[in-house]
Amino acid sequence: MSIVMVVVLLIAFSFVVHRVLERFAPRLLVLNGIEYVAVGIVLGPHAFPLLSAEVLRALQPIVSLSIGLVGFGLGLSLRQHIRSTAGLGVGGLSGILVCLGVGGVFFGVARLFDGGLLEALPMGSPPTGPELEDLWFPLALAGAAAATSHPLIEAWCRREGAKGPVVEMLLSAAVMSSLVGVGLAGYALALQRATQTIDKLGMTRVEWLVACISVGVLSGILFRVFMAADRRPGPDRLFLATIGVVVFTSGMAAGMGVSPLLVNAIAGILVSILHEGADRLHHDLQSIEKPTHILLFIIAGAMWTVPDAWILAGALGLLYSAARLSALKLSIFLATRLVEDAPRPPRAADGLLAQGVLAISIVINYVQVNPEGAGAALGGILPAIVMVDAFAPRALRTMLGNAGALGHIADASMGAADGASAGEGTSASEADPSVPREGARS
């Protein structure tokens, strides 16, 4: 089968699966992406080689575009949560502390082995300065550790009917913490790229970083200028403008060899601030955003590899999970007490375990820039992310139950029963306990 046909079938499969799940999943279950990673492993080079190494190389432009769309959606979602200053404060402080904790652990491990870890399990191209040779991988891991999937948390909360200040804090904290993680991971990849090309372009690391950020800023401004001519743009015009901005920004990032996740997130943040229709745009963008998530999960599974030092890779994944969980629990505990008016539910960190497509995008992007680091990133870290996501829904539901954020479901059921016994007509929210009533609060 030709490469073009495989690419077309893979994209078509992603959209068809999304449409099917959009219709049936709300009544059945909410998936977290693990099943698509498994599909990618089956279709990858190690099993049924439909997605061979040659096909994966041909898919890289589409992968960069999909990663860019994830970043743009993350930046765009900031507008929905900007009023929850407590949640943003908790997420920002927690994200910084998680990055410091996980990055410090892996930097210390790399230095402890004095380069032996890099020889046994390559983690990426060492830059030209020996003082920085152990830096890029810990920084990328720290960024991935701070990433939290707010779409997964939102979908699980909607399924459980959870509402209230605790849910709002979780969603806002997830968005802000993810922005911190994307910023750090993108910063690390940009500086590494600058180190690799500094002699060719004659630019300092700071100048290269400013150039990368400027691409995202320029894209956001271009979107605003393009839409300024029409005060009431239609959904088609908004959709086309968004796709154009993401394609342009991702292409520039790929050409510069930097993270499309970071530059598109910057563009998305500007659009969310400057454009009053950002909420509607974010909603319309989900029609292609979710299929690209499916595509990235499948690609991650197909790229998964078992390195020769597989025991060391497994230990690396376990260390990542333990370091992230410890740093997350400590940082959320401190952040909820340092940020004014922040809710303090018990075991709040259990509500922020899910990482989803965002952390996987950071891992894939790292492998794109550092192909020789695939063994450590895909062989060790990817399974750790997937395994934590498998347990995240139960942990979130338990945390919400302990915080009392699920209590309105029982209230809605009692209201429906009272209305039925009185012989009065009931609304849809009163007749169906799964639909929360207006004004219900946890």
| DSSP letter for each residue of 1-16 | --HHHHHHHHHHHHHH
Query: What's the predicted TM-score (pTM) here?
Result: 0.81
Burial (CB count <10 Å: 0-12, 13-18, 19+), residue 332: buried
| pLDDT tens digit at each of 442 positions of the chain | 666 677 777 777 766 776 666 566 554 445 567 778 888 888 877 777 778 888 888 888 888 889 999 999 898 888 777 767 888 899 999 999 999 999 999 888 877 765 555 555 555 544 444 445 557 788 888 999 999 988 888 888 888 888 888 999 999 999 999 999 999 988 888 777 766 665 566 667 777 778 888 888 888 888 877 776 666 666 677 777 788 888 888 888 877 777 888 899 998 898 888 777 777 777 777 777 878 888 898 888 888 877 777 788 788 889 999 999 999 999 999 999 998 888 888 889 999 999 989 999 998 888 888 777 677 777 788 888 988 888 888 899 899 988 888 754 434 433 433 443 344 443 333 334 334 443 343 3
Fold designation for 3-406 = Na+/H+ antiporter like fold (1.20.1530)
Separation of alpha carbons 176 and 93, rounded Å: 9
- Cβ-contact 299, 46 below 8 angstroms: no
DSSP string, 228-286: HT-SS--HHHHHHHHHHHHHHHHHHHHHHTS-HHHHHHHHHHHHHHH-TTHHHHHHHHH
- In 3D, which of 364, 286, 299 has the Cα closest to residue 36? 299
